């Protein structure tokens, strides 16, 4: 089966001229010449990025998803390829109703009619990993309208085969491509495998959904569905059914009386709140995953869907971003360069002045442009590309943050072309930086550590006494024994020297 799959990959790669894209980077040039000779009849008129996208679509859903993940690595890819791969969509035919019902029975050990009062066997959405059906719970379970996400059958076997082939191709790229080692294709495949296997566990997605809902439980801007945990397994996820208008349907939004400029600013506010307040953000915010509520109670609120991919930021990440943003607003490019080196992401021997000059070339021109023309995501992208020249190791979570920010910018300016992202984001950035740096950070740190201090301080005298006692009983004894042994060795040496001197004196006297 793997050989058949490999043959299909080679055939499709040949059809779209993917071999040319790879072999042209082989240092000797012999493989590229051989490829042109073998495929003398082939005429590739489409741009290379378009050909790559079409090839991935022809190879099937796993390769489409790989292209989607690859498009987020703009720190590694040429821009034309990254932009084209971002157009990849999951156009996957749904699996049959019989298979969906069989998956439910396998998950619960009983048929769908026993689990749900109503179940629509026709899916409302279908993607590469799972598809969604609408249903209703039994009255004793609350009778709620729900959305049931069902994992595609036999996904683990399919993914294992395709990942093994991707790893083989990545290893081949490293050997024949001049930039292969720098682009780290095997690491990219490993990162993709992690995301993919995470998406195969729907309990993990349910947990992501629950966390985001808890973070925005009282929000006036965002709705997140509740999770029905009693009905969730690793292969089936049941959540509240959400109603609304897809955010890409701007005409329908306007007809529903929703103010688009206000909606665009709200989207930016939601994103920055997730990042700067919670350090936990929805990292797959393309238009297919976002609705806008049009009912009387929640009119104009965002509705988040699909929580398979989320991003998290540690305190180290936040401190890095705080230092960079603060220095950026003050045009202190040396501080930006130093922040990279101090974080250990740039080599310690990096020339600060050269790094500073490169960063200045990226950032300085944007301050002379109207704010609504500035792309925050593009600035981060150019910083990442500049950092690559200095062997800076860009962290995956920051790349995911930059990719999500590009999505938010594109979505916001689709709703309002004059969206001023900087002005909208500035209050959040300023409040966040004050919390990360300065007296607020000190107060927060004291509040966090106070319970530990309250527990530890009364024990301090006893702990000190125990430490000193242990040092006398155990730590000092070996030291004293070593000192005594050294003293004895010195005494023996002095005795030997005395005997030698006495012998010399006797000899001289005779």
Q: DSSP of 41-99, one letter per residue?
A: T----S-HHHHHHHHHHHH-HHHHHHHHHHHT-TTTS-HHHHHHHTT-----PPPPHHH
C-alpha distances (whole Å) from 23 to each of 41, 177, 179, 186 are: 18, 7, 12, 18
Active-site residue identified among 162, 284, 306, 420: 284
The candidate with the shortest Cα–Cα distance to 135, out of 123, 151, 153, is 123
Burial label for 462, CB within 10 Å (0-12, 13-18, 19+), is: exposed
- Number of alpha carbons in the 13 Å side-chain half-sphere of residue 334: 2
Q: Is 284 a catalytic residue?
A: yes
Give the sign of the dihedral formed by CA 392, CA 396, CA 398, CA 399: positive
Angle between the N-to-C axes of helices 155-176 and 61-71, in degrees from 0 to 180, rounded to the nearest 10: 50
The candidate with the shortest Cα–Cα distance to 197, out of 131, 258, 129, 278, is 129
- Under DSSP, is residue 247 helix (H, G, I), strand (E, B) or coil? coil
Distance, CA of 57 to CA of 53 (rounded, Å): 6
Q: What are phi and psi of 281, to 5 degrees?
A: -135, 145
Q: Active-site positions? A: 284
């Amino acid at each position: 089966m793997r050989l058949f799959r490999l043959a299909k990959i080679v055939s499709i790669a040949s059809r779209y001229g993917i071999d040319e894209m790879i072999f042209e980077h082989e240092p000797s040039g012999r493989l590229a010449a051989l490829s042109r000779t073998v495929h003398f009849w082939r005429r590739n008129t489409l741009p290379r990025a378009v050909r790559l996208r079409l090839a991935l679509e022809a190879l099937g859903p796993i390769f489409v998803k790989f292209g989607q993940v690859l498009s987020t690595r703009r720190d590694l890819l040429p821009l034309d390829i990254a932009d084209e791969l971002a157009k990849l969509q999951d156009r996957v035919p749904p699996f049959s109703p019989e298979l969906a019902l069989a998956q439910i029975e396998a998950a619960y050990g009983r048929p769908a009619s026993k689990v749900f009062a109503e179940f629509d066997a026709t899916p409302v959405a279908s993607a590469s990993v799972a598809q969604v059906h609408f249903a209703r719970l039994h009255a004793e379970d609350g009778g709620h309208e729900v959305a049931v996400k069902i994992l595609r059958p036999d996904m683990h076997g399919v993914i294992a085969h395709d990942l093994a082939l991707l790893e083989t191709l990545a290893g081949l790229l490293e050997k024949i491509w001049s930039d292969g080692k720098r682009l780290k294709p095997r690491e990219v495949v490993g990162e993709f495998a992690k995301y993919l296997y995470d998406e195969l566990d729907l309990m993990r997605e349910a947990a992501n959904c629950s966390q985001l809902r808890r973070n925005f439980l009282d929000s006036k801007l965002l709705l997140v569905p509740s999770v029905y945990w009693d009905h969730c397994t690793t292969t089936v996820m049941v959540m509240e059914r959400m109603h609304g208008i897809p955010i890409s349907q701007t005409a329908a939004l306007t007809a529903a009386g929703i103010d688009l400029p206000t909606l665009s600013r709200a989207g930016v506010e939601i994103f920055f709140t997730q990042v700067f307040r919670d350090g936990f953000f929805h990292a797959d915010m393309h238009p297919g995953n976002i609705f806008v509520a049009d009912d009387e109670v929640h009119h104009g609120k965002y509705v988040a869907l699909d929580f398979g991919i989320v991003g998290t930021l540690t305190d180290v990440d936040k401190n890095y971003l705080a230092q960079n943003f603060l220095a950026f607003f003050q045009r202190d490019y040396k501080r930006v360069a130093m922040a990279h080196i101090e974080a250990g992401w740039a080599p310690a021997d990096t020339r600060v002045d050269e790094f500073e000059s490169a960063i200045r070339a990226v950032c300085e021109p944007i301050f002379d442009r109207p704010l609504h023309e500035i792309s925050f995501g593009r600035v981060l992208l150019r910083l990442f590309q500049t950092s690559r020249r200095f062997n800076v190791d860009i962290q995956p979570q920051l790349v995911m943050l930059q990719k999500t920010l590009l999505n938010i910018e594109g979505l916001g300016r689709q709703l309002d072309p004059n969206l001023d992202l900087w002005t909208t984001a500035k209050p959040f950035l300023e409040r966040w930086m004050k919390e990360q740096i300065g007296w607020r950070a000190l107060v927060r740190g004291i509040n966090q550590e106070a319970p530990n201090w309250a527990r530890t301080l009364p024990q301090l005298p006893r702990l000190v006494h125990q430490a000193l006692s242990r040092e006398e009983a155990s730590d000092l004894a070996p030291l004293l024994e070593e000192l005594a042994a050294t003293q004895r060795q010195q005494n023996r040496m002095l005795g030997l020297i005395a005997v030698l001197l006495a012998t010399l004196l006797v000899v001289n006297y005779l």
